Chains A and B, each alone.
Chain A
Amino acid sequence: MDNVFIIGLLQATLRMATPILLAALGCLIAERAGILNIGLEGQMLCGAFFGYLTVYFGGSLWLGMFAAGLSGVLLGLVFAYLTVTKLNNQMIVGAAFNMFALGITGFIYKAVVGVTGTTNTIPQFKVISIPLLSKIPIIGKLLFEQNILVYLTLLIVPVIWFVLWKTSYGYELRAIGEHPSAVDSLGIDVIKYKYIAVILQGMLAAFGGAYLTLAYANAFVENLSAGRGFIAMAVVIFGSWNPFGALLGSLVFGFADAFQMRMQSIGIAIPYHFMLMLPYVLTVLILAGFIKKAKPPAMETVPYKR
């Protein structure tokens, strides 16, 4: 356990935490407006796929991010229509969205990219070392030797916190999650807020997915997201519906993920399959342990009808 190992582990922690954090931030915004979208997983998968597809066909990495975001926005829009306007059960629609995402990405991947033996890799966001800052011992390598998406995601955290807690928009959005009819009686368009929240949530989740293909694994495989969307939902609870809490929560999961990969590579005695279980077991433990202290928005998953 030398310094190099620990720094590498912590660096990987942040790298693995970023996609979960992006999805968790989106999930948090929607939950604050009273909407729980378990289709988060599917939105991540779609973001990962459409980001990949765009770059695969020669688009730039940023165009890939744009395409991913667009797919998330569209999925969010449809989800909002089905649950906010049509008042359908959010759980059922979310479950259907996950299934849809699994099918449509796998189908288009096989139809367009094909299943030839060679993996179809794409270029990726490169690590950017920030001059001077990256020279700081330990912290420098950890914080200032990452890819651009990690930096941007870390910047979004305080921005979301600021908007939610320091502006009237954020105040109204949070009030909608607690008591929509009171907000409505002030003449504020509850439905509009909910739409915006769900669309933002779709976009951020899709960005998180795109991170997986454009900055992490430079290829696409079926069900690439592998439950990260659900883990992000647990992270939101862990962080008590607060962006900084979500940051902390995703770091815990990033660490679990990074740790199990490193343990495998140095060939420790714990069976490989048990290491793979780690993030999922952790989610269960955290949900069971933290939920009593954490309080969700009062009107979460309850459709609002004027």
Chain B
Amino acid sequence: MKANKGIFINGILKPIFYVILALLISGIIILLTGKDPILAMVSLGQGAVGGKRQLAETLLKMVPLLLCGLSVAIAYRTSFFNIGAEGQFLMGALAATWFAVGFDLPAIIMLPMTFVVGALAGGIWCLIVGIIKIKTGASEIINTIMFNYIALRLVGWAVNGPLKDGYLPQSSEVNSGAVLPILWQGTRLHIGFLIALALAFILQFILFKTVFGYQIRAVGLNLKAANYAGIKSAKRLIQTCLISGGLAGLAGAIELMGVTKRLFEIFSPGYGYDAIAVSLLAQNNPAGVILSSLLFAVLRGGAGQMQRNADVSFVIIYVIQALIIVFVVMSSSDKNSNSVIQKLIQKISLQKAEKKVDSKGGA
């Protein structure tokens, strides 16, 4: 009972509080530039969840955010800071395009095969960085970022070269067998949504209920101790890289198969970078990533309408995301000290507890 309460406060109440605080500060920034923050926030909300179409579009954006968020989360558990989900996402989409444009087979073969091809490409893209880290000790942070830029250029080259179709710098449409079925009739929401959700739960299970999950967490928490305990840490790290990159690559394949159907130069609006904040906000818990990716999808989903209605540039959502990350790390480092936020939350939860006691006493 007590443990549940801790999860509720730390896992749900606190993040909500940080989000509100971040929105408040961003509101002040918007106000300072002479725009209307209330209008901005209201249009953000309307644009994200104001109707059937808007809601479906938001859930659609949640799919790549969720998968890439899982990618960052699982890697982070082995102390591998994967900033490369963006590049792995692109490589997944690139490989999936090559496959799904080039091969025309029945859906029953095409769908799983395209998933595998995309996931493999993303996995290998991350694996290269992992191997470099193990062999030479080179920082994965710089390398994954470099690989993002390289992937971006590779996609640019492919859609201007071998995959180019017609006059525009884009690929031809994927064959019909590789198009994901629609989940919610009348909208664009496809079954990739369910796949992403299922993977979140599977990862949560693997991470916390299996030996493999225990070992990768051990490697991340204390490499030396894990080695002493006989865990093959290099092997675990490599496996985690494959899974992590694979998830982001799969996200790229799913985005292609469910939404864009074609590959083009600006294929990702930065899902891979958002994923870092998504994962950190969920404290790298796969199940928590579901909620945080939903939140970020809402921010992204509503940003367009905010830009149109309130004339506030959508890039303000990066400010909101950055503030959220800073609050989250602040609170985790302040566990034993008494920060303002901590005190406030303690106070609220105390008051609630007192009320509960009161009402019970009354009855």
Binding site for B on A (CB under 8 A): 38, 82, 86-89, 91-93, 95-97, 99-100, 102-104, 106-112, 222, 226-227, 230, 233-234, 271-274, 276-277, 280-281, 283-284, 287-289, 291-292
Nearest first, the 3 closest Cβ-Cβ pairs linking A and B are A103-B318, A100-B322, A106-B315
Asked if A103 and B150 sit within 8 Å, CB to CB, the answer is: no
Residue of A nearest to B321 (CB): A99
A96 to B29, CA, bound (A): 17
Chain B residue contacts of A92, Cβ below 8 A:
280, 325, 329
CB within 8 Å for A93 and B146 given contacts A99-B277, A103-B322:
no
Asked if B142 and A273 sit within 8 Å, CB to CB, the answer is: no
CB within 8 Å for A284 and B318 given contacts A96-B326, A111-B312:
no
A93 to B329, CA, bound (A): 8
A274 to B151, CA, bound (A): 11
Residue of B nearest to A277 (CB): B153
A271 to B164, CA, bound (A): 14
Q: Which of B136, B160, B326 contacts A287 (CB 8 A)?
A: B136
Asked if B276 and A103 sit within 8 Å, CB to CB, the answer is: no
Asked if B153 and A100 sit within 8 Å, CB to CB, the answer is: no
Q: Which of A88, A230, A287, A288 contacts B333 (CB 8 A)?
A: A88
A99 to B326, CA, bound (A): 11
Q: Which of B29, B146, B156 contacts A107 (CB 8 A)?
A: B29
Chain B residue contacts of A230, Cβ below 8 A:
142, 145-146
A226 to B152, CA, bound (A): 12
Chain A residue contacts of B146, Cβ below 8 A:
227, 230, 234, 280-281, 283-284
A289 to B136, CA, bound (A): 8
B210 at the interface (CB under 8 A from A): no
If over half of B's interface residues share one DSSP class (helix, strand or loop), that class is named, otherwise mixed; here it is helix
A126 to B97, CA, bound (A): 47
CB within 8 Å for A234 and B317 given contacts A88-B330, A281-B150, A287-B132:
no
Least distance between A51 CB and chain B CB atoms (Å): 19
CB within 8 Å for A86 and B334 given contacts A100-B323, A103-B315, A107-B29:
yes
Asked if A102 and B138 sit within 8 Å, CB to CB, the answer is: no
CB within 8 Å for A280 and B150 given contacts A99-B277, A100-B323, A107-B316:
yes
Q: Binary interface profile of B, 126-169, with partner A (CB < 8 Å = 1, else 0)? A: 00000010011111011101110110011011001100000000
Residue of B nearest to A227 (CB): B149
Binding site for A on B (CB under 8 A): 29, 33-35, 81, 83, 132, 135-139, 141-143, 145-147, 149-150, 153-154, 156-157, 160-161, 273, 276-277, 280, 312-313, 315-323, 325-326, 329-330, 333-334
Chain B residue contacts of A88, Cβ below 8 A:
329-330, 333
CB within 8 Å for A111 and B33 given contacts A103-B317, A271-B161:
yes
A-B contact pairs, 16 of them (CB 8 A): A38-B141, A96-B277, A99-B321, A100-B319, A103-B319, A107-B319, A109-B313, A271-B160, A276-B156, A281-B146, A283-B143, A283-B146, A287-B142, A289-B136, A291-B137, A292-B136
Residue of A nearest to B273 (CB): A99
Chain B residue contacts of A271, Cβ below 8 A:
157, 160-161
A135 to B177, CA, bound (A): 68
A112 to B143, CA, bound (A): 35
A287 to B145, CA, bound (A): 13
Residue of B nearest to A282 (CB): B146
* Supplied contacts A89-B333, A271-B161, 13 more A-B pairs, CB within 8 Å: A82-B329, A96-B277, A99-B277, A100-B319, A103-B317, A103-B319, A111-B34, A230-B145, A277-B153, A280-B146, A281-B146, A287-B142, A291-B137
Least distance between B318 CB and chain A CB atoms (Å): 3
A214 to B115, CA, bound (A): 47
Chain A residue contacts of B321, Cβ below 8 A:
99, 103
Asked if B136 and A87 sit within 8 Å, CB to CB, the answer is: no
CB within 8 Å for A110 and B322 given contacts A91-B81, A99-B277, A230-B145:
no
Residue of B nearest to A93 (CB): B329
Asked if B330 and A96 sit within 8 Å, CB to CB, the answer is: no
Asked if A273 and B153 sit within 8 Å, CB to CB, the answer is: yes
CB within 8 Å for A82 and B326 given contacts A88-B333, A280-B150, A283-B142:
yes
Asked if A99 and B318 sit within 8 Å, CB to CB, the answer is: yes
Least distance between A283 CB and chain B CB atoms (Å): 5
Chain A residue contacts of B322, Cβ below 8 A:
96-97, 99-100, 103
Asked if A276 and B153 sit within 8 Å, CB to CB, the answer is: yes
Chain B residue contacts of A87, Cβ below 8 A:
333
Least distance between A291 CB and chain B CB atoms (Å): 5
Q: Which of A226, A233, A234, A288 contacts B136 (CB 8 A)?
A: A288
Chain B residue contacts of A82, Cβ below 8 A:
326, 329-330
A86 to B330, CA, bound (A): 8
Least distance between A79 CB and chain B CB atoms (Å): 10
Asked if A273 and B318 sit within 8 Å, CB to CB, the answer is: no
Residue among B157, B276, B319, B320 with the highest chain A CB neighbour number at 10 A: B319
Residue of A nearest to B337 (CB): A86
Residue of B nearest to A226 (CB): B149
Asked if B329 and A89 sit within 8 Å, CB to CB, the answer is: yes
Asked if A112 and B33 sit within 8 Å, CB to CB, the answer is: yes
Q: Which of A38, A89, A111, A281 contacts B313 (CB 8 A)?
A: A111
Residue of A nearest to B35 (CB): A111
